[in-house]
Structure 1
Amino acid sequence: MSPQKPLEVYQLKAMRHLQQQKNWEFEGRLALANDKDSVSVSINWRHSEFQDQIELVGPLAQGRLRIAVTPERVELDDGENRRVFNGSADVVLSEQLGVDLPVSSLKFWVLGVNDPGQDYIEQPEGFYQGKWLVRYREMQTVNADTLPKKMTAEKDKARIKLIVDQWVLL
């Protein structure tokens, strides 16, 4: 019997280069919760240098929401209505979804790194940034990199839980 490969351990310093990753995408499962609501969806997130395209699909393919984020605007398309908002994606999404989804930092957090535009405090298994405690429960090897498989982010009563099933670094 061959010995089992040890689980990859989260190390922020070893992952810092991923802040420069311009194009990536992943598929996985996302759970969002606050003191009033909780929702679990499938997520497909495609990131490029100029735009984030996030598709959320509810259980049993019920309810599909496409979110397109650029520095200037946010577009929400649920298949019936397409709405365009100007302003901060974090504020727009919080108002429209009813739960905190800090996309501007989350696009770094999902890669296992802090948002380089904000201060942070390193913690065991993660870091504290923008009032969020971000933790990485499980890592996976993708090409020559180590990327998150399971992560959580918590702020007050808001909680984000992400499981990444498949990564593609472009």
Structure 2
Amino acid sequence: MPRSFLRIAVLAAVLVSAGCAVQPRREPLPPALEAAAQARQAEREAALRPVSDWSLEGRIAVSNDGKGGSGRIDWTQRGQAYAVSLSAPVTRQSWRLSAGPDGARLDGVEGGPRSGPDAQQLLLEATGWAIPVGALSDWVRGLRAETAGPARMEFGATGRLARLHQGGWVIDYVWPDAADASAGPVLPRRLDARRGEARVRLLVDTWTGHESLADGTAATPSQ
């Protein structure tokens, strides 16, 4: 088996087993620490939202109603426009979803490019993958999505966002260790989003575009 195929298979197995694991019960923070975490999250969102040009490279595993796959993801955001490239080495399939205020286009599917007003619907119809791309551009950075309605947040012992409930989805976060934090804000290393039978698991290998920001969220609420 080629090494690239083996890496993807191992990744999928790790993500699936982790997703199936029982999530540990998270005790709520004491009121004072909860208030501090909420305030720090608001400050973080205020700092990150103005960063309109950024990109990530990573690995993704998606499952929905018996359909699924895994592979590479490259996301480039330029203001309200974005381009997401998905590639699955095992099946040798790849797609490129681009979207903006004027609509969306999906390339790399059988029958030729498709276009329409809803990027998520285009991807679902072509691949069976339910990826909430409209909200994911915020969720992937650990932000509440401005277009997904009311949100409820849960924070871990460090004061970082641990779980987000929004738009019918539940998003769990894993953050890099303090030793791994580079200059700029700390961004999620992994997220696991689920709604019913749909699940999206994303591991980020590389972030670009946020380096000039100072991270005001590194301290824990107790500091």
Q: Same fold (TM over 0.5)?
A: yes
1:86 equivalent in structure 2: 116
Say whether the 8 Å CA contact 1:75–1:82 is kept in structure 2: no
The structure with the largest strand share of the pair is: 1
TM-score (norm 1): 0.84
* CA displacement 1:5-42 (0-9 Å, x = unmatched): xxxxxx73453122222010010000101231120010
CA separation in 1, counterparts of 2:196 and 2:154?
17
CA separation in 2, counterparts of 1:12 and 1:96?
36
One of 119, 128, 132 as aligned partner of 2:150: 119
2:194 equivalent in structure 1: 154
Matched, 1:102 2:132: yes
Percent same amino acid among aligned pairs? 26
Say whether the 8 Å CA contact 1:72–1:88 is kept in structure 2: no
Matched, 1:138 2:168: no
Any unmatched runs of 5+ in structure 2?
1-39, 156-161, 211-223
Structure 1 residue 57, shift from structure 2 partner: 1.0
Task: Answer with 1 or 2: which has the greater Rg.
Answer: 2
Q: Residues 128, 65 of structure 1: CA spacing in aligned structure 2 closer, same or farther, 3 A cutoff?
A: same
Q: Which moved more, 1:19-28 or 1:137-146?
A: 137-146
C-alpha RMSD of matched pairs (Å)? 2.2
Matched, 1:57 2:87: yes
CA separation in 1, counterparts of 2:89 and 2:121?
26
- Secondary structure of the equivalent of 1:113? coil
The structure with the largest helix share of the pair is: 2
Any unmatched runs of 5+ in structure 1?
1-10
CA separation in 1, counterparts of 2:182 and 2:112?
35
- Kindly indicate whether structure 1 or structure 2 has the higher relative contact order, using CA contacts under 8 Å at least 6 residues apart: 1
CA separation in 2, counterparts of 1:169 and 1:119?
28
Matched, 1:29 2:59: yes
- Secondary structure of the equivalent of 1:148? coil
2:41 equivalent in structure 1: 12
1:168 equivalent in structure 2: 208
